[in-house]
Chain A
Amino acid sequence: MLESYIRSYNDAVFETDKEAAMAVVNKALADGVTPENIVFRLIIPAIEMMMAIIEKDPDANLAQHFMTAQIAADVTEKMLEKFSQPPEVIGRIVIGAAHGDLHSLGKRIVSGCLKALMVEVIDLGVNVSAERFVDAAVSENAQVIAISAMMVHTATGENGSQRVRALLQERGLEQKIKLAVGGAPYRFDPELYRKVGADAWAADGVTAGKMIVNLIREVKNDTA
């Protein structure tokens, strides 16, 4: 039964039709699906299916990524208020736009997906210094630092990800905190993430959710 909801929900999301997607969720609720099952058996599988679709479909576009994250985050937030007990979180990340970068869309898409996937997201905003990324990750006990950079110099500059990597190394944090990057320059040079010292990258905000969840699991396994 939930499979048909997932299909209808993703069809609506793929058409960037928020009203239709919300109608599917409301119908499921009216049919007696619990808020917990809405999140864990509808929204999360729908995001995972969307990740698979986007990975395979080169024609998936930014509007679809945006709506996937936006709707999932909205629904999850509403459902969490109705949960009988707080859900278990997978992990925690700090996210922000690189030093000198004022673009915020990418991190919003990533954050929306992660929140729906039960990852706690601490958003540091835009134009974030390397020191602030690392300090926040330590104080928040985050497993991942995620840095968005939409301009070439903010992706490759010495005050961006490269500096974060250097600080993680200096402070002996490389096993405890992984570094993820994303943004336009990385799409043009898929090897660029290695050159700026990151552990992983993703070509879009939705699949970034999957990549970050994998990094969180890696850290938890390494430090267990």
Chain B
Amino acid sequence: MTPLEILAAAINGKPAPRIPIFCNLLDQGARELAMTSKDYFSNGALVAEAQLKMLKRYGHDNVWSLHYVGKEAELLGCREILFANDGAPNVADFVIKSLDDISRFEIPPDITQVPAWQSVASCLQILKSEIGNTHPICAYVTASTTLPVILMGMEKWMELFLLGPFELRDELLRKCADFFHQYISALRAAGANVLVYSSPFGSPYFLSPDKIKKMVLPWMKHDLEPGGVADVVYYCGMAPFNNVIDLVFDELHITKHYTSPLDDLTTAKRIINTRGLTCGVIDDIKMIHWTVEETRAEVKRIIDIGKPGGHFLFGNGVMPLAVPEANIRAMVDAAFEYGGLE
């Protein structure tokens, strides 16, 4: 079976030789090609090349078209990204610097014509032609209620979101939702087949479940309605969300859940059960200082919880660059070893 077929089998509860194994390696690509982060991310073909090389090196199931989270801000006018050779790039120029900027802020009529899109498009074009029929190609889309964080900063967005002025907040959300519709559609058309819907404001770590239901859920529905959710994975940026899994099933109909290491996996698996896919996620920040043995033991613990009954995927969060290569290798090898189903 191909990795794509193994993923489908896990989602649908069908027989497969093993569980799907996701290994999310983003910033490691620059190291793989011995380049600076800035040079590496400037060219989508390089990102695709590194993703394919790392896929070959570790043998996991998925690749990523995501360059860095700030890419969406660049598509919307951000002019400066702070690159770092020891970690993830950071948005350094907020598109919305004051509340007055919200009315002037415009979504491009066609984001595929924006220069910042071209590297994403070329990356996806290569990945699709090389492994599009066999492997999950992941893309990252930020929910409309979270996108303002990279446009104006978390501090200002939290203030606007909770304290208003609410007309301005809703105007910004409408624009962010318009962008979301364009972006997810463009990613699908370019070849992404796993859409990771990043919605930290849909996590009870950020807001109470009641506020999520009243203030965030309507926007999430609006985000996802046009294209459906068949290829969508619910993810809260590593924040826990066990308390809203039922809500996500009932209201958004998303069946794949990329859980947080801060959530209790046993509980998540019990709630999701055979209704969908539980993605058990290792705490890869701890992997920075773990030994190979500690890494393997944690992989085993996670798979022992998730594998019985099927409908389970093993994965990591966003692998920090400081994680030793030996631990990445140990994680993937242990996932293959303990994740067998035959």
Contacts and interface: CB of A to CB of B under 8 A. Distances in A.
B32 interface: no
Contacts of B92: 102
Contacts of A188: 238, 261-262, 283, 285-286
A189 B320 CA distance: 13
A94 B18 CA distance: 52
Interface string B64-90: 000000000000000000101011101
A105 B206 CA distance: 12
A153 B158 contact: no
Interface string A51-70: 00000000101111011001
B155 A62 contact: no
B301 interface: no
Interface residues of A, number: 32
B261 A105 contact: no
B116 interface: no
Interface in A170-211: 184-185, 187-189, 191-192, 195
Contacts of B243: 59
Nearest to B163: A18
Nearest to A16: B162
B289 A189 contact: yes
B321 A153 contact: yes
B211 interface: yes
Interface residues of B, number: 33
Interface in A13-71: 16, 18, 59, 61-64, 66-67, 70
A181 to B, nearest CB: 14
Nearest to B322: A156
B162 A187 contact: no
Given A66-B162, A104-B153, A189 B88 contact: no
A152 B163 contact: no
User: Which of B86, B261, B321 lies at the interface centre, i.e. has the most chain A CB atoms within 10 A of its CB?
Assistant: B86
A63 B200 CA distance: 12
B91 A102 contact: yes
A153 B211 contact: no
Given A100-B82, A152-B288, A152-B320, A63 B158 contact: yes
Given A185-B285, A188-B261, A67 B162 contact: yes
A151 B154 CA distance: 14
A212 B147 CA distance: 32
B266 interface: no
Contacts of B286: 188-189
Contacts of A154: 87
B87 A157 contact: yes
B138 to A, nearest CB: 20
Given A61-B206, A62-B206, A66-B162, A151 B289 contact: no
A153 B155 contact: no
B322 A152 contact: yes
B305 interface: no
9 contacts: A18-B162, A61-B204, A100-B90, A103-B153, A151-B87, A152-B87, A153-B321, A184-B238, A188-B262
Interface of A: 16, 18, 59, 61-64, 66-67, 70, 100-105, 108, 127, 151-154, 156-157, 184-185, 187-189, 191-192, 195
